[in-house]
């Protein structure tokens, strides 16, 4: 066909459609990969140069972690069905970043430019902060060392641009590369606030969702007096972990403490603890701290924080010097209605709002 006639046919077709008031063109959301949009339709940053001027950079670390081979407690991620006798086989945190991004479309920055009235009645995130999505770390399932090397590289790009990493996990090993890279950039100390149902105070294995805080203390810039855990509960805590927590002497709040004091008091105290004499604060949200009524968890432990409590706590903490934030242990395969993924997207938005509020 004559190329000129091809073009004319297309133009006539478009004119006919326009006369019938059909939508003239599709607006494509920025797509990260497959059917996954960028976080809240923020621009995709596909190179370090594209991070320039960003105040917050979302990055996924879809790493399931390393499992211990005890069929009564944990099982290898690749084993399906669970081995005989397994009472605790749930996985799927590697699908967390995609699920959070899909649900974040509800908070598209194109919709209200990041208007978050609860954070502040006049807050419009994009008036203060450039938000970008730096994609995912190319994880290597089962190879924690290589995965963390790759994570280091992407996180270093984000910090070099002066942006705060908003990290979507992955299991609870994924804070390790984040605070390792952060520690290298700081002159002073780093405070850490952890939301979790569990102590996670193992010393070994080296890189594991359970020994991550030992690796934080190893850095030399995280002191127990600036370390806080919120939401511990249930009948699965380890006596060893408790003994270690008391040896270290850091402050932790069980759910019973939260009930007694109220989440606002707990969050305010945590902010003061994590920022006393420190240069910056890292916040880690293991989504299993939220009540499993929402579904979607690797390690559901009933009677956790409500959605309102976790958002309120993050709002208070995000007024502090947040240098990094992660959400981990979402298991989308158990999030049948998507409500926990939605809450995770909302949690990330709340932290970004707090960062925006501190910018001119």
Contact residues: Mn ion, CB under 5 A: 196-198, 286, 288
Do the strands 190-195 and 36-37 form a parallel or antiparallel pair, or are they unpaired?
A: unpaired
Task: Tell me how far, at minimum, the Cβ of 350 lies from Mn ion, in Å.
Answer: 20
Considering beta carbons, is residue 284 or 342 the nearer one to Mn ion?
Answer: 284
Considering beta carbons, is residue 114 or 295 the nearer one to Mn ion?
Answer: 295
Considering beta carbons, is residue 286 or 335 the nearer one to Mn ion?
Answer: 286
Q: Is the peptide bond before 170 cis (omega within 30 degrees of 0)?
A: yes
Task: Tell me how far, at minimum, the Cβ of 201 lies from Mn ion, in Å.
Answer: 12
Cβ burial of 307 (10 Å; 0-12, 13-18, 19+) is middle
Considering beta carbons, is residue 288 or 326 the nearer one to Mn ion?
Answer: 288
Task: Tell me how far, at minimum, the Cβ of 238 lies from Mn ion, in Å.
Answer: 12
Task: Tell me how far, at minimum, the Cβ of 150 lies from Mn ion, in Å.
Answer: 24
Do the strands 227-232 and 190-195 form a parallel or antiparallel pair, or are they unpaired?
A: parallel
Task: Tell me how far, at minimum, the Cβ of 265 lies from Mn ion, in Å.
Answer: 23
Residue 228 phi, psi (nearest 5): -135, 140
Q: CA-to-CA distance for 295 and 152, rounded, in angstroms?
A: 31
Q: Would you state the structure tokens that stand for residue 146, as one six-digit string?
A: 């290589």
Considering beta carbons, is residue 284 or 341 the nearer one to Mn ion?
Answer: 284
Query: To which H or E segment does residue 327 belong?
Result: strand 322-328
Report whether 131 contacts 125 (CB < 8 A): yes
Task: Tell me how far, at minimum, the Cβ of 298 lies from Mn ion, in Å.
Answer: 8
Alpha helices in the chain (DSSP H): 3-19, 96-104, 109-112, 125-128, 144-160, 175-185, 212-218, 239-248, 255-261, 263-275, 307-317, 339-357
Considering beta carbons, is residue 45 or 99 the nearer one to Mn ion?
Answer: 99
């Amino acid at each position: 066909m004559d190329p000129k006639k091809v073009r004319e046919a297309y133009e006539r077709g478009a004119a006919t459609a326009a006369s019938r008031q059909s939508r003239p063109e599709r607006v494509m959301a920025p797509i990260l990969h497959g059917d996954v949009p960028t976080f809240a339709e923020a621009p995709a940053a596909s190179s370090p140069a594209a991070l320039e001027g960003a105040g917050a950079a979302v990055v996924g670390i879809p790493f399931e972690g390393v499992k211990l081979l005890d069929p009564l407690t944990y099982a290898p991620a690749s084993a399906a069905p669970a081995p005989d006798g397994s009472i605790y086989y749930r996985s799927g945190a590697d699908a967390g970043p995609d699920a959070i991004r899909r649900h974040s479309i509800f908070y598209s920055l194109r919709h209200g430019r990041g208007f978050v009235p609860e954070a502040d009645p006049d807050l419009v995130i994009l008036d203060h902060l450039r938000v970008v999505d730096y994609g995912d770390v190319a994880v290597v399932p089962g190879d924690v060392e290589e995965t963390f090397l790759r994570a280091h590289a992407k996180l270093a790009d984000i910090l070099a641009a002066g942006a705060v990493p908003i990290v979507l996990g992955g299991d609870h090993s994924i804070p390790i590369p984040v605070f390792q890279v952060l520690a290298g950039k700081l002159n002073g100390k780093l405070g850490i606030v952890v939301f979790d149902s569990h102590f996670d105070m193992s010393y070994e294995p080296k890189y594991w969702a359970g020994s991550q805080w030992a690796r934080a203390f190893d850095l030399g810039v995280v002191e127990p007096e600036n370390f806080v855990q919120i939401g511990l509960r249930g009948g699965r805590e380890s006596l060893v972990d408790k003994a270690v927590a008391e040896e270290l002497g850091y402050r932790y709040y069980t759910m019973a403490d939260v009930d007694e004091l109220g989440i606002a008091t707990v969050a305010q105290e945590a902010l003061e603890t994590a920022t006393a004499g420190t240069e910056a604060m890292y916040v880690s949200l293991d989504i299993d701290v939220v009540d499993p009524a929402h579904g979607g968890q690797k390690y559901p432990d009933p009677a956790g924080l409500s959605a309102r409590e976790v958002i309120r706590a993050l709002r208070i903490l995000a007024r502090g010097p947040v240098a990094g934030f992660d959400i981990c242990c979402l298991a989308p395969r158990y999030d049948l209605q998507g409500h926990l993924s939605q809450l995770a997207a909302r949690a990330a938005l709340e932290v970004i709002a707090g960062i925006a509020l501190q910018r001119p």
